[in-house]
Amino acid sequence: MSLKTYDYTKDELEKFKYAIIHTEKGDIKLRLYPEEAPNTVANFATLANEGFYDNLNFHRVIPGFVAQGGCPHGTGMGGPGWNIACECDNNIHKHEKGTLSMAHAGRDTGGSQFFICFAPQPHLDGVHTVFGGIEKDDKKSFEVLDSLKQGDKINSIDIKKNI
């Protein structure tokens, strides 16, 4: 499968600063990192803006590890029909509680599946692309994250320049 790349301008990428994951448990607000992972952010934002994530679920939720979603089949085996390259080399951010990262089945095999960490996962640093995270003072988003269970629904994901 070929690797998909996006050619958004810097000004266009600036519009992809925040994501709000609307779940049946409440909203999770995430700051995106287009300066560290421009293609990963562009891929996630484009899929979200096209409604790809609407009505999907968190198909893999492991307490103390991650909540994973973005599979169109709800099994962890699906994707958008393409892969994107990993962008780990420029990651300043690490896998901490609230980190948004790209799931994959090996280097350069990510597509639509993402995960949010429940706790620090240093063994994932440099392996999975960190492309966003819950801001440290956002207690409500952390409460929603902590409440997630396997099968919980993602109603939609909004991409915003400001929140």
Q: Can you give the residue range of the structural domain that contains 80?
A: 15-160
Query: Is 123 inside a domain boundary?
Result: yes
What's the pLDDT tens digit per position in 85-94?
999 998 999 9
What is the DSSP code string of 60-107?
A: EEETTTEEEE--TTSSS---SS-BB----TT--S---TTEEEE--SST
Query: How many domains does the chain divide into?
Result: 1
Q: What is the pTM of this model?
A: 0.97
Please give the average per-residue pLDDT across 100-108, as a whole number.
97
What's the pLDDT tens digit per position in 6-41?
999 999 999 999 999 999 999 999 999 999 999 999
Please name the residue that has the structure tokens 């901490």.
Answer: 96
Query: Is 72 inside a domain boundary?
Result: yes
**CB-based contacts of 109, cutoff 8 Å, min separation 6:** 83
CATH number at residue 156: 2.40.100.10
